Amino acid sequence: MQPFKLERYFAQYEFTTKYLLCVSDCEALSMAEVVSMADAECQALWSDLKLGYTESQGLPLLRREVVKAMYPSLTPEQVLVLAPEEGIYLSMRALLKPSDHVVCVTPGYQSLYEIARSIGCDVTPWNVREIKDHPNHAQAFDIDELEKLLRPNTKLVVINFPHNPTGLTLTRAQLDRVVELCKSRGAYLFSDEMYRYLEHDASTRLPPACEIYDRAISLFGMSKSFGMPGLRVGWIATKDKDVFARVAELKDYTTICSSAPSEILALIGLRARDQLIQRNVATIKRGLAAVQAFMDKHKDKFAFQAPTAGPIAFPKILIPGMTASAYSDMLVREAGILLLPSGLYEVEDNRFRVSFGRVNTPEVVQAWDAFLSAAK
């Protein structure tokens, strides 16, 4: 497999740069905050926890809570607890073989397509498109284009909505059409749903793909929407027995089982989901307002499309002769502010990912504005 460009980029900058304005998670919870939210059952589990091996499929209580919260038509036996990145890797290994055709939403998290490439699959990007003559250089995904990309032998379609890095999502009608296109070809659907619950308007929330299509695999985790990335806990859910069994078998060669403390903390967080989601969406909206005001002020330099979900957006750089990579390099070097250039997503280097899911976003935007003012 090729080096993971985005993760190598963060490895270089994430823990040494003053201001991170491109992270895709929400403000992280402290251990004390999580434990304080525990109900009596979880308090007892936490106090009596032994650091032994755990069930390979995941803590039964956690899987029951996952189904209760997210997948009403599934059973706990159709949920496999694992690290989210592991879920991508193992699902691709379980589903694909050399020469299979895969269509993947683009730009996207590299493992969503790179693992298929490494297997020897023929991967076709489903690119987000800039809307012609739009004043903000807005982007959209075209389902008609997806239909044209599919082949009679397409094995897998990979989607990610709410989308990283654009913050776009589909309508329910669009998602239903994606499912119908997969059904018409007997294709599997891998749905990265890591940003679910972070819709800025909850009425736009999509159902999990595994709820509406028997050959869909839904991925979720505690990292993004819940602000608990340090747990390294997530899960896949699917009604497809054969795929589920194969992923579970492959997991024996990776982590075997999940961290016992992390499973309890994930259970606490999931049971407090309404409180946590409300908190994180409020933080996102405050941060987005600061970013929007900044972009409005500097619209000669940047074109900004407000996202509809999640803590990230994908503005376009308008500075003549300046690539997103060059601008990002300059900004982190001279102002200590980290952006994520679009070239790391293997698309044209004219956009960057900006984030607003952390509480210090207004402060960081103010520092960026001060830097631009001083440079005049």
pLDDT tens for the 376 residues of the chain, in order: 899 999 999 999 999 999 999 999 999 999 999 999 999 999 999 999 999 999 999 999 999 999 999 999 999 999 999 999 999 999 999 999 999 999 999 999 999 999 999 999 999 999 999 999 999 999 999 999 999 999 999 999 999 999 999 999 999 999 999 999 999 999 999 999 999 999 999 999 999 999 999 999 999 999 999 999 999 999 999 999 999 999 999 999 999 999 999 999 999 999 999 999 999 999 999 999 999 999 999 999 999 999 999 999 999 999 999 999 999 999 999 999 999 999 999 999 999 999 999 999 999 999 999 999 997 7
Question: What is the distance of C-alpha 276 from the center of its chain?
Answer: 17
| Domain 32-273, CATH | 3.40.640.10
CA distance 289 to 295: 10
Does the pTM surpass 0.85? The reply is: yes
| Domain 5-29+274-375, CATH | 3.90.1150.10
Beta strands in the chain (DSSP E): 19-20, 79-82, 101-106, 122-127, 129-130, 139-140, 154-160, 188-192, 216-221, 234-238, 302-303, 312-313, 316-317, 337-338, 340-341, 352-355
Task: Provide the pairing of β-strand 129-130 with 122-127.
Answer: unpaired
Contact 104, 91 (CB under 8 A): no
CA distance 84 to 115: 14
How far, CA to CA in Å, does 186 sit from each of 86, 152, 181, 189?
Answer: 25, 9, 9, 10
CA distance 371 to 376: 9
- Give the start-to-end residue ranges of the domains of the chain: 5-29+274-375, 32-273
